[in-house]
Amino acid sequence: MKTEGWEVEACGGTHLKNTGEIGFIKILHTERIQDGVERIVFSAGLQALMAIQYRDALLTRLSEKMNAPFEKLESTVDRLIRELKASRPAKELLSKEFGDRKAPEYLNKAEQIGKIKFITEPVWDAKDVNSLIYTGSQIARLDSNSVSVLGAIIDNNARITVSVGPGAIDVGINAQEIAKITGSILGGSGSGRQDFAQAGGPLAGRENIEKALQKAKETIRKHLEAK
């Protein structure tokens, strides 16, 4: 259906005599198809009214959860975003301090085959995934021949980080491959680079994380013993 004065064509599956037959229209979102072409997703008539009602109900729930009336909802969100940004440097500092403390501890009890040290440890006191990341990167910095696979439960999800030092990369250890193996055990997936990767999944019980870490240990040991 062509709309006079607009370079658009709306297709709702039914041809109409004029735009007045459509009634109320609510644009839901747009999608970029290719250069110069945009898809506009919309509802019309009763469905458009239902879309408005749904969004109004959503705003009402958000207003109640944030204890802010409609007219103050935007300013409340802005304030929370500012507070979140302000707290980020402090959280990063805590994560770095956590890694600085944990890395030497884990290296001291690392297993070793040849020149490669490998650590597969649950970190039950980790508060966020950055704590795992900083700990792994610190281990790799302290010993370039190290591999660390660290696991924790973060926000009710299982998380694994894999950090591989340059010396371990030289003998063929690949963080991405280990992340994929551990991620599948956790009911999820893993991805990343050869030197660093992450995995996660919804199977967040401690036994699942320990099972994933044990599989990582077996994978690393098998690779090193084959060299």
Supply the pLDDT for residue 112.
94
Banded pLDDT at 186 (limits 50, 70, 90): very high
Q: Which domains does the chain show, CATH number per domain?
A: 94-225 (3.10.310.40)
Cα separations in angstroms, 213 against 97, 111, 179: 24, 14, 10
Q: How much is the pLDDT for 147?
A: 97
Residue 180 predicted with pLDDT over 90: yes
pLDDT at position 184, please?
94
- Comparing 117 with 70, which gets the higher pLDDT? 117
The predicted structure's pLDDT at residue 45: 81
Within a 10 A sphere around the Cβ of 81, how many other Cβ atoms?
10
- Surface-to-core class of residue 189, CB atoms within 10 Å of its CB (0-12 exposed, 13-18 middle, 19+ buried): middle
SS3 (DSSP) at 226: coil
Q: With cut-offs at 50, 70 and 90, classify the pLDDT of residue 76.
A: confident
What is the band of 4 on the pLDDT scale with cuts at 50, 70, 90?
A: low
Tell me the pLDDT of the chain averaged across its residues. Answer: 88
pTM: 0.65
CA dihedral 117, 119, 120, 124 (to 10 degrees): 180
Instruction: Give residue-wise pLDDT tens across range 101-145.
Output: 999 999 999 999 999 999 999 999 998 999 999 999 999 999 999
pLDDT band at 218 (very low <50, low <70, confident <90, very high): very high
pLDDT of residue 162: 97
> Phi and psi of 217, rounded to 5°?
-60, -45
What tens digit of pLDDT does each residue of 22-39 get?
778 888 888 888 877 788
What mean pLDDT do residues 70-86 have? Answer: 85
Higher pLDDT, 113 or 92: 113
